[in-house]
């Protein structure tokens, strides 16, 4: 521990105390940092920090095996602050163990400080973003599973608020961790009784939590969250547990400041300067300027390795009928052979998304997440913090279940490779509940994302490889029905690319398609050509980023642009192209989707070859009313 | 029960049997329908139907109080098929109780049949769409809560699959139903051991489910799901329960057809014609053409009332500083006074979204859903099926948690009024985890949705009223900081409208704004005007549908269009305008968002007045390179 900085508080004593007294002392130092930094910022959640002061102090100064100098190494214990609004006290703990200078704490929430209102991995010692509640335990599960895969004997500690335990995602994580018997995962519930707007569902009725969590396959203990000795007892039990371990810590929101203790209507409110002054008068007398050598600090030795570069070769025959979802599955196996740190997750649809090929080939690096998409994404975020390349898959529409987790993953600067199958009405008879019709909109709206949509097996495999090499959040959209291979195995595909499939000196209209509609556009080309009309056909397989140059050139060279997509018009391919200022005529899914044969549904929505032909003729007629077609 | 149709099976006997024998007979009739209709369709989930045959037969012919002639009336018991892929057997049961002709069953999954692959309320007797797993119990909870509010002593039965119980949303629903002690809610778990791709987490280990569900505050029983007598015992227990009741029915997937029983790799596969013929040989001998008078049928008497029409008056002073989220909260109270069947739900943020005003005024019609957004949306869907007008609110970003439920609500043809607060970077210090930056994209991509985004208190209240009157899914986006009132109380606002706030004969650029950026555009107008540049300013408060006429006119009358939004560029206001072919210059959130003061963040993203001014000048200079500004 650094010596207490004079500028921050006036007391000066050097005492030798016992471990518990030292940790109590540190808890109050963390309290002081939390209320001072939030008052300086003029906002924040001081009372949520105060309830967890002893928990955090005990963890960082006695329990967690951590190397403050190499806190990003893999052989540290991990800590996830699921109740992200208590960020100030986490920052305070990181400063006190020496990860960054204590002075930085007072920059909390400022425009140019990395100490944001809720944790983000810009801060040294923090691996993931939290602040949308109920996500931390899934991430911790992923980290704990990663340590197990890596053979690193370290634990993962996740601090939960009691309000967030209402989130189903917490129970998804409890469920899978119990099933996997992840004994290196420890959750601590800061049971401070009060939510944001009123008391929590169960207030201090700890048995409600204990019964639930036990039933989910965890060992559970209860302790006084302000009694360091009791906390240390609980953490010792955790270390000897043969299952994941859950500590219910009974706490008081606002603990340590009399007028904040258990006070309703103090959530998310900083203290006024006058209140701060009163609060300091209560806390300062408890603080001693002590020298303390924590015994939990270690020398970490395992850095995260640089990421592997993948390559891929395909062996398809032109015209062969292969579903892109299956090609994706085949690619996973080829990529998995190149990197032992590539893992694949699936939510009980591996035989539809074709991750089953990977599951069968690499069972140890495959994780069945069952039908729990939120947890699956959280687990993936946790895994990638430990240097794994993670692919995860489900039906495109069911990934929408985890959108909040995916959104948060972008603030975690996570490296996630997501595959959504069963895109669009072309799935056919199963009907709209199973159709991905908004996934392009959703994934395009993820900060920094890449969105890919191959139309054949060759491009599907090569784009899967491009995702593997990309660092960030990438998404591949695959199709249920089989489609013909249209590319030679030597073709290359890259993020931000496109392919001009048909082109002549006198193209009247450009048709920009992706995925299943590429094949409809090619059929339309043949029909129109037979009538003496030339169209340009572009396979816009990179929906984000777009191949701007090729699209702008086509717009300059042909009078009209049509986009055609098996997706709602909002936020899809058409709007992406429109955002370039290219005025596309957007063909998309505009009628209430329902069951039927794929070809019937494509026709009904006007996104099949006939729909394209009809639109092309309509556009030409607009400018040449008298023109007839052969 | 209708007499068995000769064309469907050959046996002809009239026997008087006991109730149980009759129900067993019906179960086999339902089996026959399920395998025949799926084989005819060439797809579907026959084995998932077969496991629930006795459960469904017992429910529809002995347990559920239902009036087949008025199955849409409120004083029926309700049934929700959460495992929506078993749709064929639900359709079969509805046909057998006489809701529609049995012949229709063979149109399953056809293009022009309402008997879709998964249930939708196009089918008489079905109130909601299911098929995305884990959503039915929340909907059932909403229905049961509605019956309680209405004082109607009827029960709600929800049939769950065992795979879907991994979804956290199921536990959110179990949790709230337990807390509310909804004794009129009964869940039945069809524990058939097999998921889609492999066995479920707990297979036939019923204690894993029983322990969990008991801990969540439910009464639980276990029964043999193929033994009608045991099922009837379980349902009788349910009727006497003082808590919500959970029946674990041990079943066999594929039951009744020897080569399908407990067979893996038969999920979601119809029988071939040859297989069907073999299966029929096993089932037909068990079927008797019996006349049976079920005793559970009732005469329902309470139709759903026509919806109420709302109106609203505001009393603000021009220039008064009021947050749109607070105006929304005030409007809710005014609307609530006009209709006793208006209810409001919130997820522990009522003091931030300002639904707290409604909660305080109408506590009985307010439901605290705690931090569990998925369940909140499901509950809302359930409530609206019983004739309630339902508003629900959370932070815009946290609504993304429930996107799968919202997407499914569109297929339920639900009438939902959703409010998302804390839109954009303008929330400031709390940082990106709390910022709604993709909500316009998400809600625009909901089929048939309306998306509203008011900039001041007057328009916020009036648009809240417009939502109340709209039937479908509508969304209002509100802002955290206070903004000045710019509209007179006499102004009217409607879905699909906009307001031209500044307009002259020589506007050089049109600025299309919404919400917080309207105020930035007005400031930019003043600055530019002082330099001799006129711009048109449009408040585009209806983001979907857009006021096409006004926007197109502005594009014709001014050289350039700028859109400015506190949202990512993908799927937002700018792309919506671009989709009209108007070539806007899109100002939006393009840099990684973080903490800071609202004005610093708006400036950083170039979406404040200075950013607009700068863009206007850049556009003008493009065409007049030598022009200088005063």
As a whole number, mean pLDDT of residues A210-239 equals 98
d(CA B155, CA B188): 13
Residue A297 DSSP one-character state: B
CB distance A113–B595 less than 8 Å?
yes
Q: Are A57 and A290 in contact (CB under 8 A)?
A: no
Residue A177 DSSP one-character state: H
CB distance A371–B568 less than 8 Å?
no
Q: Of A244, A199, A106, which Cα lies nearest the Cα of B371?
A: A199
Interface test with A, best of B164, B374, B570 (most A CBs within 10 A): B570
pLDDT at A182 over 70: yes
Helix residue ranges, H only, B362-483? 373-385, 396-399, 403-411, 439-444, 457-469
Rounded to the nearest angstrom, the minimum Cα separation between B404 and chain A is: 5
CB distance B129–A404 less than 8 Å?
no
- Residue A291: per-residue pLDDT: 80
Q: Which residue has the higher pLDDT, B19 or B50?
A: B50
pLDDT at B12 over 50: no
- Residue B591: per-residue pLDDT: 98
Cα dist from B298 to B26, B68, B73, B153, B459, whole Å: 19, 8, 11, 13, 48
- Smallest Cβ–Cβ distance between A117 and the set B431, B574, B579 belongs to B431
d(CA B296, CA B65): 5
- Smallest Cβ–Cβ distance between B197 and the set A214, A349, A437 belongs to A349
Question: How does pLDDT run across B329-362, given as a tens digit for each residue?
Answer: 999 999 999 999 999 999 999 999 999 999 999 9
pLDDT at B5 over 80: no
d(CA B48, CA B42): 16
CB distance B120–A431 less than 8 Å?
yes
Residue A194 DSSP one-character state: B
Longest dimension (CA), chain B: 98
For residue A169, the chain B residues in CB contact (below 8 A) are 168
* Percent of chain B predicted with pLDDT > 70: 97
Kindly report the backbone phi and psi dihedral angles of residue A132, in degrees, each rounded to the nearest multiple of 5, phi listed first.
-95, 115
Kindly report the backbone phi and psi dihedral angles of residue A384, in degrees, each rounded to the nearest multiple of 5, phi listed first.
-70, -20
Kindly report the backbone phi and psi dihedral angles of residue B581, in degrees, each rounded to the nearest multiple of 5, phi listed first.
85, 25
For residue B129, the chain A residues in CB contact (below 8 A) are 432-433
pLDDT at A1 over 50: no
Dihedral-angle region of residue A581 (phi above 0 means left; psi in -120 to 50 means alpha; beta otherwise): left
CB distance A448–B592 less than 8 Å?
yes
Q: Are B163 and B85 in contact (CB under 8 A)?
A: no
Q: Cite the beta strand spans of A316-461 per DSSP E.
A: 321-322, 342-346, 366-368, 389-395, 416-421, 450-452
- Residues of B with active-site annotation: 373
- Smallest Cβ–Cβ distance between A438 and the set B195, B407, B411 belongs to B407
Residue with tokens 């906002």: A43
Tokens of B577: 């305008």
What band does B15 get if pLDDT is binned at 50, 70 and 90?
low
What band does A630 get if pLDDT is binned at 50, 70 and 90?
low
- Residue A16: per-residue pLDDT: 53
Work out how many CB contacts closer than 8 A connect A with B: 314
Q: Of B62, B126, B64, B63, which Cα lies nearest the Cα of B89?
A: B126
Rounded to the nearest angstrom, the minimum Cα separation between A15 and chain B is: 39
d(CA A245, CA A237): 8
For residue B432, the chain A residues in CB contact (below 8 A) are 116, 120, 129, 411
d(CA A124, CA B553): 53
Question: How does pLDDT run across A105-127, given as a tens digit for each residue?
Answer: 999 999 999 999 999 999 999 99
Q: Say whether the peptide bond before residue A545 is cis (omega within 30 degrees of 0).
A: yes
pLDDT at B2 over 50: no
Bridge partners of B538? B500, B512
pLDDT at B7 over 90: no
Q: Are B549 and B524 in contact (CB under 8 A)?
A: no
Q: Looking at this predicted complex, what is its ipTM? A: 0.96
pLDDT at A602 over 90: yes
- Residue B627: per-residue pLDDT: 82
Q: Is the pTM of this model over 0.90?
A: yes
As a whole number, mean pLDDT of residues A29-57 equals 98
- Residue B16: per-residue pLDDT: 53
Rounded to the nearest angstrom, the minimum Cα separation between A370 and chain B is: 7
d(CA B575, CA A585): 14
d(CA B157, CA B138): 12
For residue B408, the chain A residues in CB contact (below 8 A) are 433
Rounded to the nearest angstrom, the minimum Cα separation between B484 and chain A is: 23
For residue A445, the chain B residues in CB contact (below 8 A) are 437-438, 441-442, 568, 570-571
DSSP string, B521-589: HHHHHHHHHHTT--EEEEE--EEES--HHHHHHHHHHSSEEEEE-SS-STTSHHHHHHTTT---EEE--
CB distance B371–A84 less than 8 Å?
no
Considering only A17-21, A564-568, B117-121, B184-188, which range has the smallest mean pLDDT? Answer: A17-21
d(CA A144, CA A488): 43
CA dihedral A239, A245, A251, A255 (to 10 degrees): 50
As a whole number, mean pLDDT of residues B562-576 equals 98
d(CA B171, CA A170): 10
CB distance A430–B43 less than 8 Å?
yes
Cα dist from A187 to A130, A510, A590, B216, whole Å: 15, 56, 47, 19
Residue B66 DSSP one-character state: B
CB distance B595–A198 less than 8 Å?
no
As a whole number, mean pLDDT of residues A70-78 equals 98
For residue A122, the chain B residues in CB contact (below 8 A) are 594
Rounded to the nearest angstrom, the minimum Cα separation between A299 and chain B is: 33
Nearest CA in chain B to A596: B111
Tokens of A412: 């975690």
Interface test with A, best of B104, B269, B381, B432 (most A CBs within 10 A): B432
Q: Of A97, A32, A89, A84, which Cα lies nearest the Cα of A55?
A: A89
Nearest CA in chain B to A38: B429
Question: How does pLDDT run across B288-317, given as a tens digit for each residue?
Answer: 988 888 999 999 999 999 988 999 999 999
Question: How many C-beta atoms surround the C-beta of residue A9 within 10 A?
Answer: 18
Residue with tokens 């006004």: B550
pLDDT at A2 over 80: no
CB distance B201–A407 less than 8 Å?
no
d(CA B353, CA B331): 12
d(CA B393, CA B436): 13
Question: How does pLDDT run across A268-280, given as a tens digit for each residue?
Answer: 999 999 999 999 9
CB distance B196–A43 less than 8 Å?
no
Bridge partners of B247? B188, B221
Cα dist from B86 to A558, B94, B390, whole Å: 50, 13, 29
For residue B575, the chain A residues in CB contact (below 8 A) are 571, 575-576, 578-579
Query: Which residues touch B526 (CB under 8 Å, ≥6 apart)?
Result: none
Rounded to the nearest angstrom, the minimum Cα separation between B400 and chain A is: 5
d(CA A475, CA A464): 9
- Residue B625: per-residue pLDDT: 81
Tokens of B556: 């014709």
Q: Are B73 and B124 in contact (CB under 8 A)?
A: no
Bridge partners of A277? none
Bridge partners of B418? B392, B475
Tokens of B377: 């949306």
Q: Are A347 and A396 in contact (CB under 8 A)?
A: no
d(CA A570, CA A578): 11
Considering only A68-72, A315-319, B2-6, B468-472, which range has the smallest mean pLDDT? Answer: B2-6
- Residue B628: per-residue pLDDT: 78
Task: Report the Cα–Cα distance between both ends of chain A, in Å, rounded.
Answer: 85
Question: How does pLDDT run across B432-467, given as a tens digit for each residue?
Answer: 999 999 999 999 999 999 999 999 999 999 999 999
pLDDT at A6 over 70: no
For residue A129, the chain B residues in CB contact (below 8 A) are 432-433
Interface test with A, best of B442, B446, B595 (most A CBs within 10 A): B595
- Residue B8: per-residue pLDDT: 45
Interface test with A, best of B43, B575, B583, B601 (most A CBs within 10 A): B575
Rounded to the nearest angstrom, the minimum Cα separation between A287 and chain B is: 30
Residue A62 DSSP one-character state: I
Nearest CA in chain B to A348: B197
For residue B110, the chain A residues in CB contact (below 8 A) are 595-596
Question: How does pLDDT run across A383-441, given as a tens digit for each residue?
Answer: 999 999 999 999 999 999 999 999 999 999 999 999 999 999 999 999 999 999 999 99
Nearest CA in chain A to B596: A111
CB distance B368–A175 less than 8 Å?
no
For residue B113, the chain A residues in CB contact (below 8 A) are 595
Q: Are B534 and B527 in contact (CB under 8 A)?
A: no
- Residue B497: per-residue pLDDT: 98
For residue A593, the chain B residues in CB contact (below 8 A) are 447
CA angle A466, A308, A544 (to 5 degrees): 25
For residue B441, the chain A residues in CB contact (below 8 A) are 441-442, 444-445, 570-571
Rounded to the nearest angstrom, the minimum Cα separation between A295 and chain B is: 35
- Residue from A373, A438, A508, A575 carrying the catalytic annotation: A373
- Smallest Cβ–Cβ distance between A571 and the set B170, B195, B575 belongs to B575
Nearest CA in chain B to A427: B117
Query: Which residues touch A482 (CB under 8 Å, ≥6 apart)?
Result: A321, A322, A323
The H or E element containing residue A174 is: helix A168-180
Residue with tokens 């900081």: B481
As a whole number, mean pLDDT of residues B268-296 equals 94
Nearest CA in chain A to B591: A447
Kindly report the backbone phi and psi dihedral angles of residue B401, in degrees, each rounded to the nearest multiple of 5, phi listed first.
-60, -30
Q: Say whether the peptide bond before residue A615 is cis (omega within 30 degrees of 0).
A: no
Alpha carbon of residue A312 to chain centroid: 26
CB distance A371–B600 less than 8 Å?
no
CB distance A576–B570 less than 8 Å?
yes
Bridge partners of A248? A189, A222
CB distance B197–A350 less than 8 Å?
yes
CB distance B371–A164 less than 8 Å?
yes
CB distance B195–A370 less than 8 Å?
yes
Question: How many C-beta atoms surround the C-beta of residue A591 within 10 A?
Answer: 11
Question: How many C-beta atoms surround the C-beta of residue B239 within 10 A?
Answer: 12
Q: Are B400 and B446 in contact (CB under 8 A)?
A: no
Nearest CA in chain A to B175: A166
- Residue A14: per-residue pLDDT: 52
What band does B498 get if pLDDT is binned at 50, 70 and 90?
very high
Bridge partners of B191? B250
As a whole number, mean pLDDT of residues A343-359 equals 97
């Amino acid at each position: 521990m650094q010596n207490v900085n004079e500028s921050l508080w006036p007391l000066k004593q050097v005492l030798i105390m016992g471990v518990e007294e030292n940790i109590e002392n540190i808890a109050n130092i963390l309290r002081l940092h939390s209320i001072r930094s939030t008052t300086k910022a003029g906002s924040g959640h001081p009372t949520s920090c105060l309830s967890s002061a002893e928990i955090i102090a005990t963890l960082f100064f006695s329990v967690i095996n951590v190397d403050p100098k190499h806190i990003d190494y893999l052989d540290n214990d991990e800590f996830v602050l699921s109740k992200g609004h208590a960020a100030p006290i986490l920052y305070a703990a990181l400063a006190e163990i020496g990860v960054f200078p204590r002075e930085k704490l007072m920059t909390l929430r400022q425009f140019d400080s990395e100490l944001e209102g809720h944790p983000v991995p810009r801060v040294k010692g923090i691996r993931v973003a939290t602040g949308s509640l109920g996500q931390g335990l899934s991430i911790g599960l992923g980290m704990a599973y990663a340590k197990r895969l890596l053979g690193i004997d370290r634990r993962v500690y996740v601090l939960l608020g009691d309000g967030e335990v209402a989130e189903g995602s917490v129970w998804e994580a409890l469920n899978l961790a119990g099933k996997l018997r992840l004994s290196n995962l420890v959750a601590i519930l800061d049971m401070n009784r009060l939510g944001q707007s009123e008391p929590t569902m169960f207030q201090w009725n700890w048995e409600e939590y204990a019964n639930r969590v036990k039933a989910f396959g965890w060992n559970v203990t209860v302790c006084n969250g302000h009694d360091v000795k009791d906390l240390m007892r609980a953490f010792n039990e955790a270390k000897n547990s043969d299952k994941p371990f859950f500590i219910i810590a009974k706490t008081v929101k606002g603990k340590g400041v009399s007028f904040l203790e258990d006070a309703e209507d103090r959530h998310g409110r900083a203290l006024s300067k006058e209140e701060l002054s009163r609060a300091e008068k209560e806390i300062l007398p408890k603080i001693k300027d002590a020298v303390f050598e924590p015994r939990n600090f270690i020398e970490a030795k395992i850095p995260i390795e640089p990421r592997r570069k993948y390559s891929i070769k395909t062996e398809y025959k032109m015209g062969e009928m292969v579903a892109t979802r299956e090609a994706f599955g085949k690619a996973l196996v080829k990529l998995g052979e190149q990197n032992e740190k590539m893992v694949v997750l699936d939510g009980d649809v591996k035989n539809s998304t074709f991750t089953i090929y990977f599951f069968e080939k690499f069972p140890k690096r495959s994780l069945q997440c069952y039908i729990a998409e939120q947890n699956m994404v959280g687990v993936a975020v946790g895994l990638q913090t430990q240097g794994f390349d993670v692919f995860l898959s489900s039906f495109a529409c069911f990934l929408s279940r985890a959108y909040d987790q995916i959104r948060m993953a972008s603030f975690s600067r996570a490296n996630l490779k997501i595959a959504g199958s069963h895109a669009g009405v072309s799935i056919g008879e199963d009907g709209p509940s199973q159709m991905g019709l908004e996934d392009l909109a959703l994934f395009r709206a993820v900060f920094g994302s890449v969105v890919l949509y191959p139309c054949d097996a060759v491009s599907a495999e090569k784009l899967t490889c491009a995702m593997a090499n990309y660092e960030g959040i990438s998404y591949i959209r695959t199709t249920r029905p089989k489609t013909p291979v249209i590319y030679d195995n030597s073709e290359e595909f890259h993020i931000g690319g496109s392919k001009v499939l048909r082109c002549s000196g006198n193209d009247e209209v450009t048709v920009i398609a992706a995925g299943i509609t590429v094949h409809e556009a090619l059929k339309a080309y043949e029909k129109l050509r037979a009538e003496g009309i030339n169209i340009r056909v572009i396979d816009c397989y990179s929906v984000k980023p777009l191949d701007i140059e090729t699209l702008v050139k086509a717009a300059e060279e042909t009078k009209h642009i049509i986009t055609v997509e098996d997706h709602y018009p909002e936020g899809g391919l058409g709007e992406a192209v429109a955002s370039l200022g290219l005025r596309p005529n957007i063909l998309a899914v505009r009628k209430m989707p329902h069951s039927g044969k794929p070809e019937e549904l494509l026709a009904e929505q006007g996104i099949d070859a006939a729909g394209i032909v009809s639109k092309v003729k309509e556009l030409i007629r607009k400018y040449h009313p008298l023109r007839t077609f052969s």
